[in-house]
Amino acid sequence: MASGNAIRGSRVGAGPMGEAERGESAPRLRISFWCSNGHETQPSFASDAQVPDVWDCPRCGFPAGQDRENPPDPPRTEPYKTHLAYVRERRSDADGEAILAEALAKLRGEI
């Protein structure tokens, strides 16, 4: 016995798909961008939209520009720093010795 809903799998208000139902699409233009690895990306923009100077390359993630011969430089990546490296940037060895001496004095009950 087949019981079910004829509109199973569709959402409320769904209708036929097509340009007549959705209206006319905006005129588009494709702009080429090149990254420093030589990848070309061609996103499409509305003809009246402002085209950005830089676009992210979907293949490598580097910034891409419109000049094929002179693409933007890849971002400089900083090496991973440990918590201790950040502390050493803020404090000198003398500061560290003073803080350690104070903490040890508190633990010993001298303060």
DSSP, residue by residue, 6-62: TTTT--TT----SHHHH-PPPPEEE--EEETT--EE--EEETTSPPPSEEE-TTT--
Q: Which residues are annotated as a binding site for Zn(2+)?
A: 35, 39, 57, 60
Two structure tokens written together for 59: 């293949």
Q: Which residues are annotated as a binding site?
A: 35, 39, 57, 60
